[in-house]
Chains A and B, each alone.
Chain A
């Protein structure tokens, strides 16, 4: 379990914008993903925990060991912290073989024990055949595994991963996720993972923290964060919603419905408690929640609006239709016809407003 309260201020300089980190969080066993845009302070938090950046104030408590306490003047050196840190570029020592890289980490163990442990890790991370190679002779995936293996030879108190999937192609990413899942299961330590990929959050995260401008703006299970972003900003950050300005025209708690005005159209939605008639809000609806069909179809479905198709883009699992005004709809392959006028159908349940 790690508990951290961190504050660090970088004043505005001549050639740098100021930055203000102010976070407070707890993370237990399992994978906690730090999600957010570049420059939001995710890696800085890892650096503060690893001991490479000294916070201005705060506290870092890992299990029952105090790593940093601004008030008490405690600031343990990185080497005393036992934080396994997998850096973005893996930082494998280029003049050592894979085996030597692992042995470097295990040098405090007795020779026999070290040999056993290094072999165990080489095998576990499927590196036994490349133990004698130097890092530059390895593939990207092997490098990644070697870096992970090295930081786990001596079991750390926490594992810090800085964008581990960066630069890996899809199959290698899947392999990495499998490895990390097995690490999560076998090593009972907190794992903090920095990323700006939602895919990683869903693949790995037990909990995700959304970072924005040096703050944690939302936390929770990825499915919860993504279905209920607490602010428009986070909804935009997640990049998975159509965000439409609407005005609430009617609210009916007895039938659990509402009437929303979007442009010159009216849509039906859930009842939204805490809002009043006349409120101008934003409707979040993902491209998958919408349906689209060509306008020449016989019937016009309820709760739908006409749309003028601007672009159709192939995606791994179908097509993404982009309409005038920025509305996006995902349709399965085969549901696409070359026509300009479409009818877009909204669901009556499950849309969020902010």
Chain B
């Protein structure tokens, strides 16, 4: 029987875009959490971690409420791009993002905080700006662990099911990601399709996690709460 590979490609595309966004935004949040000394830091940390521990349907519900065609963010998006966000692959990106960004923030924060502060002191006393200090000293010293976090969050966004289903739906050929396709295949009795997709996804995740472990030098974010 012919296997439709579209869900796999879509999932990889969604995960890639989500991870890219999570990297840019997550690194900034991680930097603020690692370096900022302000009230509400713990609250921000908790908010960032929340999607990891909430049921995916709860996350999906929030997304629908916030990004739906009647919500102002959803309408703003529609005005700018000319198309709604819900029930599109971009919606799936948002759902994946919410599950991958917390992992990335957590691992990056730990990575940034693990850099010996004396290097930062030395750099500052040598007249380096905070920007230069980050990109030339802190980031290069932490990049292996950060990249391990990137790999983890990529693997995580590859597998999102609940939130994606709620915000992007299950439209074959348009928004059906691999996790949803596997569920569909099992429901409709196509055991062969399900088995192949399951094996492929498992292999990809295994490769990525091995990579992440090697990058992090065997270090794994044991403190990160894992949902699902």
Contacts and interface: CB of A to CB of B under 8 A. Distances in A.
B119 interface: yes
A214 interface: no
Contacts of A79: 124-129
Contacts of B124: 51-52, 77-79
Contacts of A95: 140-141
B8 interface: no
Contacts of B141: 93-95
Given A52-B121, A87-B118, A94-B141, A104 B129 contact: no
Interface in A85-106: 85, 87-89, 91-95, 104-105
Q: Interface size class for chain A? A: 20 to 34
B177 to A, nearest CB: 39
Interface string A46-80: 00001110000000000000000000000001111
Contact of B121 (A77, A85, A92, A154): A85
A91 B121 contact: yes
Contacts of A85: 121-122, 125
A36 interface: no
A299 interface: no
B123 interface: yes
A41 interface: no
Interface string B132-167: 100011001100000000000000000000000000
Given A94-B141, A95-B141, A82 B127 contact: yes
A143 interface: no
Interface in B5-36: none
A50 B136 contact: no
Contacts of B125: 50-51, 78-79, 81, 83-85, 151
Contacts of A298: none
A8 interface: no
Contacts of B119: 91, 93
B116 interface: yes
B1 to A, nearest CB: 52
Contacts of B128: 79, 104, 107
B122 to A, nearest CB: 4
A108 interface: yes
A89 B118 contact: yes
Nearest to B129: A79
A177 B125 CA distance: 23
A104 B124 CA distance: 11
B5 to A, nearest CB: 41
B55 to A, nearest CB: 39
A104 to B, nearest CB: 7
Given A91-B116, A94-B141, A95-B141, A104 B126 contact: yes
B126 A105 contact: yes
* A79, A82, A105: residue with the most chain B Cβ atoms closer than 10 Å: A79
A131 B198 CA distance: 53
A196 interface: no
B46 to A, nearest CB: 25
Contacts of A154: 126-127
A150 interface: yes
A52 B125 CA distance: 9
A169 to B, nearest CB: 23
A294 B25 CA distance: 81
Nearest to B122: A91
A91 B118 contact: yes
A151 B126 CA distance: 7
Contacts of A87: 118, 121-122
Contacts of B118: 87-89, 91
A84 B132 CA distance: 18
Interface string B176-205: 000000000000000000000000000000
Of A88, A93, A151, most B-chain CB atoms within 10 Å = A93
Given A85-B121, A89-B118, A150 B126 contact: yes
Contacts of A77: 124
A323 to B, nearest CB: 46
A150 B126 CA distance: 8
Nearest to A83: B125
A4 to B, nearest CB: 17
A84 B119 CA distance: 14
A52 B122 CA distance: 10
Contacts of A82: 127
- Give 7 nearest A-B pairs by CB, closest first: A91-B122, A78-B124, A91-B118, A85-B125, A105-B126, A79-B127, A79-B124
Interface of A: 50-52, 77-85, 87-89, 91-95, 104-105, 107-108, 150-151, 154
20 contacts: A50-B125, A51-B124, A79-B124, A79-B125, A79-B129, A80-B127, A85-B122, A87-B121, A88-B118, A89-B118, A91-B121, A91-B122, A92-B122, A93-B123, A104-B123, A104-B137, A105-B126, A107-B132, A150-B122, A151-B126
